[in-house]
Structure 1
Amino acid sequence: MRKAIDLCKHICTLVPLLPVVILASVPLALLGSWRPWYAAVGDLHLPVLGDPGVGQWLVIALVAYIVVDTVKGMVEDIRNGQVGVDLLAVVAILSTVAVHEYWASWAVTLMITSGEAIEAYAEAKAESSLTALMQAAPQTAHVVTLPGLDGHVHDSAAAHAAAAGEGGFRRVADAGSTGSAGSAAGPAASSPTASAADGDASAAVASVASGDVAAHYRTVPADQVDLGDVIVVLPGETVPVDGELLSGSATLDLSAINGEPMPREVFAGARVMSGAVNGATTLTMRATQKASDSQYQRIVQLVASAQESRPAVVRTADRLAVPFTILSLLIAGVAWMVAGTPLRFAQVLVLATPCPLLIAAPVAYIAGTGRLAKSGILIKTQDVLENLGRVTHVFFDKTGTLTVKQPQVVRVEMLPGSGTRLNEDHVLMMAGVVEGYSVHILSKGIEKAGREAMARLNGRFADGQRRCPERDFPGHGRDYPVVRDVREDAGKGVSGEVNGHLVRVGRLSFANANAAGFQPVSAGAASASVASTSPLSDHDVRTRFGMLAADEMASYVSVDGHLVARIVMRDVPRANARESLARLHELGVGTLTMLTGDKRASARVIADEVGIDEVHAELFPEDKVAAVRAATAGAAGAGAAAAGRAAGRRGRRPVTMMVGDGVNDAPVLAVADLGVAMTDGTSTAASESAQVVIMNDDIAAVPQAIAIARRTRRVMLEAVLLGLGLAVIGMVAAAFDLIPVVVGAFLQEAIDVVSILWALTALFDRD
């Protein structure tokens, strides 16, 4: 009961005239023919109106107000380039007054006002996901006012604040250090320090990073934050602008940005995106973008653009209202001429208002846009929603789109005959530690595998395992390894000391060299952990390991000057890539094509694993653009030609979609009919040039978007055809005097409700 009352209050708030119309039924029923002026002036006998009573005059006043307001709306629509199609409602309501059917007039006023209320409620319901997103936009920011900062962090001080790195191995030694003292890279390492030369700014940064800023900030509107300002975000607050984390660590809820369900822990120096919700502790950050350029505002701009646009199919529905209006007037006119009474004209027209066209079509599309947003898929205009449902050919970038973003470790091969007592987990742990300091493309995959290996080693240690080789590696069982003297030779590899052992990871020539960088020419002395072996040439090493597959790559690992293992990596397909592409075929997408700059052999391996139809490999960005442009013209190979012929039989040209994630994908995303950027919530050149942005970095969102678009269009057409069909049937029946004028007015209200509610079913997940 409470919910019903709240709903009525909400609807009356949306359309204040509705309760007035409802209350007008009381004087119409009780005082409809009462004429208190009769004794003084007698019958008025006004032209057309005759001599209405008090209740009837109230209805006439409501009619006059609604007609004037409706005509104003029609004029405004025409000025905005839209068709003013409320003519039927105006003629219908005036005709009921002219024939003195005041209850029918009241019913039509109720139909118009309640229709507006239903439309407003339906649109609010459909837009709930979008408006919630926009209303959650950060409004204020807490700018730090500590002495020495004055709202800005000097670059040198900021560098100290970012001393602790991001990832599972907390970094102590800089990548280029040559003699730093060893230390355990644990939680204690995360507190930033500053040199005396930095003065007050250094002390301020240290205070900021420790979170001791509660009484040292001023609250300003988010759009007044300047680049370089230091900002405090309190527990539970939304990050107002993009920035760099100064605190040692923070836990962020990114669900509003990319739909990620679990909070993410980030460390000093990491990017913090606006729209993220801070966890249980205060964080401090330095603004790197103004509010208008920050990530959340970009999302809001996309949503606003989609809400304000009108898809071609809705504009077509508007234009359909013109012939419907002509048809309705024709039926009503013929009925009047045949019956010889103007009442029959009113009987027909009260059933003829084109609300299914005016309301149901846009409501369905807003509902579809809301469903996409709820699924983490943003579109820039509603025309995109229509084109999504007609896609015939999808192009995919390979790396980062069909595959994970970095090559992953698939196995560790120990060097046959090396005599080492290390196992694969020790190799991964040590290699992962030093690779944590590298910027090479392979480093993240090895670092991730190293963290997992460390967890397994610590798990075995906790279970009581103390056998070799654990006892030969001091520090085993420690939460964090002891690291020192890490350095990277660009293009070759990275080296460092881990738990007292010299580790080199990288190219074979780098890992197989001694500390001075030369290849060994004689057997080295045996170490406690690595058995002595005869020196091997690079060719001999590769022969012992065996050949790599076409899509595999390797990093070699040496410990204490002896080559011990090869870490094999490959571009791994996303776990759900094959299932997602199969779903695209089920949806009727004719051709799936891979566009990649990678070698043909490795591209073919991934294509076979995920179910790609065509592969175009070893391409430059301009080659990708040419391939998509050719397909858009209907001439991109046999598969595209078949799709083109199928589309041609339906009277439409092929619609191409390009799905990518990288900056080099931006040109080809722009040239395709539909560009789809897969992101993890960050703003990239790819998402700027795309018409669709997938915020949760999930390839399954591609077929989901197409399915939602197709269902939205289907529901819209069903709602429009259902409403117009019922209206035409009702008009014909009224023309034969089968439906009285008052009944017809209420029947039209029921038709409007049915068509609008049917349009709202586009919100439901039935795909």
Structure 2
Amino acid sequence: MRRIISICKEVPLLPIAIIAAIPLALLGSWRPWEAAGVSLTFGPFNPGVGQWIVIALVVYTIVVTVIGMIDDLRHGHVGVDLLAVIAIASTVAVQEYWAAWAVVLMISSGEAIEEFAQSKAEGNLTALVDAAPRTAHVVTLPGVGARAAAAGADGTAGDAEGDMTADGFRKVASVDVPNAAETNKSTTQTKPYDAAGEHFETVPVDQVKLGDVILVLPGETVPVDGELLSGVATLDLSNINGEPVPREVYAGARVLSGAVNGSTALTMRATQLAQDSQYQKILELVSSAQESRPTVVKTADVLAVPFTILSLAIAGIAWAVAGTPLRFAQVLVLATPCPLLIAAPVAYVAGTGRLAKAGILIKAQDVLENLGRVSHIFFDKTGTLTVKQPQVVRVEKPFENSSPYDENHILMMAGVVEGYSVHILSKGIAAAGQKAMQELYARYENGQRLCAERDLPGHGRDYPVVKNIEEQSGKGVSGEVNGHAVRVGRFAYVTADEAGFTHVLGAGAAAGIAAGAVADSAVGDSATGTAAGASKKPEVNSLFAPLEPDEMAAYVAIDGKLAARIVLRDVPRENAKSSLEKLHRLGVKKLSMLTGDKEASARIIAGEVGIDDVQSELFPEGKVAAVKNATEDAHQNQPAWDKVVQRVVGESMTRQVTMMVGDGVNDAPVLAVADIGMAMTDGTSTAASESAQVVIMNDDIASVPRAIAIARRTKKVMLQAVLVGLGLAIIGMVAAAFNLIPVVVGAFMQEAIDVVSILWALTALLDRE
């Protein structure tokens, strides 16, 4: 009921037209003025009361329609509602008042259907906009947040610099709390919060200042980007990246606007203003896509003009042959450009909404159109085809193995130490260490008690005791784990004593060193080193097998003895190969990899994911040149038939399209030079997305073929809706020209055609990829 009332408010002519049927039926030919001797006859026209009401509606409808056509022309759209104007005027001219009423009803109900279709198509986009945070709870306790300097314990304004102590803390006024003797006399005290007893003030989100401490209550939306101050929080990020499972974050983590808080209140410090926060950037993309009009829709507007001419020609010929103007009206009431004017844009808005629901945002609907014609896709390697950090693939013990620890214990201790490092390889080792720790716990639960090291996790201790962490840039990181000295890093670093000279290997390796085989090695890539291939240094080759070209290594020493080498490499995403296979099935002709890595390591990854064209050892400007050249070639080397079609419907609708898929800041220039730049993010990164036309918010490479499939289906649905609608309209006009369809029936049939084409366009919302 509410929906019906809302539609009537948006289209007030609809309820008026429905009510007008009553006087037309009951008072259609009633002429009370004739009894008074007054004549309202105009030539052959002598309408009754009900008929005059219809004429008034027709005049109003024509005026509103013409104003709308003029407004469309001012905004660069072709105003083709001329058919409706001529059709409704012609029905009155031939005194077919019921037909005129039916056309008015069809026009008003058509607007209502259009409103419904647009709102339905924009449903997913509207949901994103409606979820936008509008208020924030700013903590007002003294000494807390950016506003603390401006408020004392009594709520009065203070001086920002004057309220700071020499130690950098804010001065907090004392709170007068009555003692027990005074409690009976008065309950008044100065509170460090407002009169309502709340510790926060609710303000519009755009009034949040940098540094403000914000309270987010359970179930509320995070208002701005910030840093978590609470110990732990559970956040629903589905509005940002479509991630269905809530994410648990800890103190110090970045908290994104648009995330929905879990069941426990959290506190955070604002690090971005509202207009600069992540969710606002998402809304800007949504707004840009909603306001844009794809080329195919603009072309549909243009095609409505020849359709109007064709309709007038059929109607004119029918009038001339039949010799009666009624035949002209019969044809025109069936002439509907709605499949072009409404169905086409509705389909594209629906497709844009489908993408948004899948976690894929586009900046303009033209991008949706171009996505369906992508013929060549370039992929960045690291972070796009592969996971974002190198992963541990194996743990190798030296040939002269005297370590009492198994692989899980070594990984656990190395991972604990690496958890304090900032090096790019540290996350991979730390993650492997966590997994190893879980396996040790499982082993302990299964009853295994025999192990050389009983104090390590898996043998009763909840978490290892860690002390004395120290990181030496370019060398490695060290510390104590459960009282054991652990070093992780370059070979020379982990095999040196505290002075950095005496090597502390096992007995067998020490013998080799004594023989003069030892020198500093550049092989080991460490938690603080750089990737390298297998070394020719004798002390490494005598202890470990050579590394593969795409592998890097960090060495681990425990209690002064070399325990193992941890081998890492770029690992393809789990679904990278299947996603690229789907792209081939979708008809994408060529897939290429662009990377700055060495050719040998690049080809290993390319072979694993199924890419033949590999361009390696490229600097950023080399990637830009590769994509630019391919884009220019794609535009120039078009088949002759495509060039003919281009002259008819425009180049942008037929030419081949190149696309670049990347994830990082270094990808921004090459994303900008491709026909389509697609940025893969996890909802927390915006640097690359500012240069991209498509932003994947869920960091899933499977979204690349999904986006293309949705785009192609959207265009297919749009064409079907347009062709079906126009085809039915032309068949109906021809039948009416032969007097097979009465004028009133034709008016209702025209509305049925509109409904069919619009509902067909809405099927673009359905998930059928």
d(CA) in 2 for partners of 1:13, 1:446: 62
Aligned partner of 2:267 in structure 1 is 284
d(CA) in 2 for partners of 1:153, 1:262: 36
Contact kept, 8 Å, 1:259 with 1:376, in 2: the verdict is: yes
Aligned partner of 1:94 in structure 2 is 89
Aligned partner of 1:381 in structure 2 is 364
Contact kept, 8 Å, 1:418 with 1:532, in 2: the verdict is: no
Residue 247 of structure 1 aligns to a residue whose secondary structure is: coil
The structure-2 alpha-carbon separation of the partners of 1:625 and 1:58, relative to structure 1 and needing over 3 Å to count, comes to same
Q: List aligned pairs for 1:354-433, cutoff 5 A.
A: 354-433=337-416
Aligned partner of 2:20 in structure 1 is 24
Aligned partner of 1:485 in structure 2 is 468
The structure-2 alpha-carbon separation of the partners of 1:473 and 1:709, relative to structure 1 and needing over 3 Å to count, comes to closer
The structure-2 alpha-carbon separation of the partners of 1:7 and 1:200, relative to structure 1 and needing over 3 Å to count, comes to closer
d(CA) in 1 for partners of 2:27, 2:574: 73
Letter in 1 for 2:421: S
Q: After TM superposition, give the deviation of residue 200 of structure 1 in Å.
A: 4.6
d(CA) in 2 for partners of 1:749, 1:359: 13
The structure-2 alpha-carbon separation of the partners of 1:491 and 1:647, relative to structure 1 and needing over 3 Å to count, comes to farther
Aligned partner of 2:188 in structure 1 is none
Q: After TM superposition, give the deviation of residue 331 of structure 1 in Å.
A: 1.4
Comparing 241-250 with 132-141, greater Cα deviation is found at 241-250
The runs of 4+ residues in structure 1 deviating greater than 6 Å are 201-204, 521-524, 640-650
d(CA) in 2 for partners of 1:253, 1:271: 14
Residue 198 of structure 2 aligns to a residue whose secondary structure is: coil
> Are residues 1:329 and 2:331 paired?
no
Comparing 666-675 with 327-336, greater Cα deviation is found at 327-336
Aligned partner of 1:66 in structure 2 is 61
d(CA) in 2 for partners of 1:733, 1:202: 87
- Deviation readout 1:364-397 (Å, 9 max, x if unpaired): 0000000000000000000001110111100000
Aligned partner of 1:36 in structure 2 is 32
- Deviation readout 1:72-107 (Å, 9 max, x if unpaired): 100100111111110000110011011110110111
Q: List aligned pairs for 1:238-257, cutoff 5 A.
A: 238-257=221-240
> Are residues 1:686 and 2:688 paired?
yes
Letter in 2 for 1:62: L
> Are residues 1:611 and 2:610 paired?
yes
Aligned partner of 1:136 in structure 2 is 131
Aligned partner of 2:496 in structure 1 is 513
Aligned partner of 1:744 in structure 2 is 746
1:317 equivalent among 284, 300, 305: 300
Q: List aligned pairs for 1:187-226, cutoff 5 A.
A: 197-200=167-170, 215-226=198-209
Aligned partner of 1:501 in structure 2 is 484
Aligned partner of 2:329 in structure 1 is 346
The structure-2 alpha-carbon separation of the partners of 1:87 and 1:523, relative to structure 1 and needing over 3 Å to count, comes to closer
> Are residues 1:76 and 2:78 paired?
no
Q: After TM superposition, give the deviation of residue 731 of structure 1 in Å.
A: 1.0
Q: After TM superposition, give the deviation of residue 464 of structure 1 in Å.
A: 2.7
Q: After TM superposition, give the deviation of residue 646 of structure 1 in Å.
A: 10
Comparing 244-253 with 550-559, greater Cα deviation is found at 244-253
Contact kept, 8 Å, 2:444 with 2:458, in 1: the verdict is: no
Letter in 1 for 2:245: M
Residue 117 of structure 1 aligns to a residue whose secondary structure is: helix
Residue 597 of structure 2 aligns to a residue whose secondary structure is: coil
The structure-2 alpha-carbon separation of the partners of 1:522 and 1:712, relative to structure 1 and needing over 3 Å to count, comes to closer
Q: After TM superposition, give the deviation of residue 63 of structure 1 in Å.
A: 1.2
Cα-Cα RMSD: 2.4
Aligned partner of 1:621 in structure 2 is 620
Aligned partner of 2:660 in structure 1 is 658
The structure-2 alpha-carbon separation of the partners of 1:480 and 1:647, relative to structure 1 and needing over 3 Å to count, comes to farther
Please, which runs of 5 or more residues in structure 2 have no aligned partner? 150-164, 175-192, 522-537, 647-653
Q: After TM superposition, give the deviation of residue 17 of structure 1 in Å.
A: 2.1
d(CA) in 1 for partners of 2:561, 2:75: 77
- Deviation readout 1:386-430 (Å, 9 max, x if unpaired): 110111100000000000000111111122222211000101111
Residue 685 of structure 1 aligns to a residue whose secondary structure is: coil
1:436 equivalent among 395, 401, 419: 419
1:272 equivalent among 255, 270, 281: 255
Q: After TM superposition, give the deviation of residue 518 of structure 1 in Å.
A: 2.1
1:677 equivalent among 676, 679, 690: 679
Q: After TM superposition, give the deviation of residue 540 of structure 1 in Å.
A: 2.8
Instruction: State TM-score, norm by structure 1.
Output: 0.88
Aligned partner of 1:714 in structure 2 is 716
Aligned partner of 1:227 in structure 2 is 210
- Deviation readout 1:554-599 (Å, 9 max, x if unpaired): 1110001100101111100011101110111111110000000011
The structure-2 alpha-carbon separation of the partners of 1:642 and 1:608, relative to structure 1 and needing over 3 Å to count, comes to farther
Letter in 2 for 1:310: R
Q: After TM superposition, give the deviation of residue 355 of structure 1 in Å.
A: 0.9
Instruction: State TM-score, norm by structure 2.
Output: 0.88
Q: List aligned pairs for 1:290-301, cutoff 5 A.
A: 290-301=273-284
Aligned partner of 2:703 in structure 1 is 701
Contact kept, 8 Å, 1:363 with 1:756, in 2: the verdict is: yes
Q: After TM superposition, give the deviation of residue 606 of structure 1 in Å.
A: 0.6
Contact kept, 8 Å, 1:590 with 1:643, in 2: the verdict is: no
* Aligned residue pair count: 705
1:126 equivalent among 118, 121, 134: 121
Identity of aligned residues (%): 70
Please, which runs of 5 or more residues in structure 1 have no aligned partner? 155-194, 205-211, 525-530
Contact kept, 8 Å, 2:146 with 2:210, in 1: the verdict is: no
Aligned partner of 1:189 in structure 2 is none
The structure-2 alpha-carbon separation of the partners of 1:473 and 1:761, relative to structure 1 and needing over 3 Å to count, comes to closer
Contact kept, 8 Å, 1:475 with 1:499, in 2: the verdict is: no
Q: After TM superposition, give the deviation of residue 481 of structure 1 in Å.
A: 1.0
Q: After TM superposition, give the deviation of residue 695 of structure 1 in Å.
A: 0.2
Letter in 2 for 1:559: I
Comparing 534-543 with 454-463, greater Cα deviation is found at 534-543
Residue 410 of structure 1 aligns to a residue whose secondary structure is: strand
The structure-2 alpha-carbon separation of the partners of 1:646 and 1:271, relative to structure 1 and needing over 3 Å to count, comes to farther
d(CA) in 2 for partners of 1:271, 1:220: 22
